[in-house]
Amino acid sequence: MPSARTVFSFPNPVNEKAARAVAGQVLVTAVLTLVLSLTVSQAWLWLTAALSLGFLARVLTGPTLSPFGQLATRVLAQHLGAPKPVAGPPKRFAQAMGFAMTAAGTALLATGHPLGTQILLAMLIVASGLESIAAYCLGCKMFAIGMRVGLIPESVCVECANVPAHFRARADAAAHSV
């Protein structure tokens, strides 16, 4: 039985291909939610709450309690080639940004402002599309800016200062130990 500490942890490093696979699932869900809300019924916007819970699960536990995270790490990423390790804290920050957007969208919907929810979904579509299609993580870029201006202390992600070299060395060491 896993301990609470094991469950409530976030991987570091993260396989970028798994992160992109999660972003792809978010992209598809957000697009369907937005399109169905515009064409069928605004009731479909309540899927934003499910997206929010998924983001919260990933912020708190990485892929452990997230259906999208489990599908991405156990199935999808394995079909995308060799893992590409990247720093975990920026990816966790990006998940927190997704949670903030979808929680705000859910709150707007609950208070009778579906247009606000649709606008936030459109923003989420842009962010998840950039991540899943182009490997450009807006949340990670915001994390880097936060570190650069001193809002995020270096102790949160010491290796973020030299991510490529740090993780290349870790990947090389792992390859030689097999």
Using N-to-C axis directions, what is the helix angle for 47-61 and 114-134, rounded to 10°? 50
Structural domain that includes position 165: 4-177
**Pick from 88, 64, 90, 91: which is nearest to 5 by CA?**
64
- Which amino acid is it at 150? G
SS (H, E, C) the chain: CCCHHHHCCCCCCEEHHHHHHHHHHHHHHHHHHHHHHHHCCHHHHHHHHHHHHHHHHHHHHCCCCCHHHHHHHHHHHHHCCCCCEECHHHHHHHHHHHHHHHHHHHHHHHCCCHHHHHHHHHHHHHHHHHHHHHCCCHHHHHHHHHHHCCCCCHHHCHHHHHHHHHHHHHHHHHHHHC
Q: What is the pLDDT tens value at each position of the chain, 178 positions in all?
A: 677 777 788 999 999 999 999 999 999 999 999 999 999 999 999 999 999 999 999 999 999 999 999 999 999 999 999 999 999 999 999 999 999 999 999 999 999 999 999 999 999 999 999 999 999 999 999 999 999 999 999 889 987 865 455 444 554 544 444 4
Would you state the pLDDT for residue 161?
65
Q: Which residue do the tokens 């997230």 mark?
A: 66
Count structural domains, the chain.
1
pTM of the predicted protein model: 0.87
How far apart CA 11 and CA 117 sit, in angstroms, is: 30
How far apart CA 82 and CA 67 sit, in angstroms, is: 22
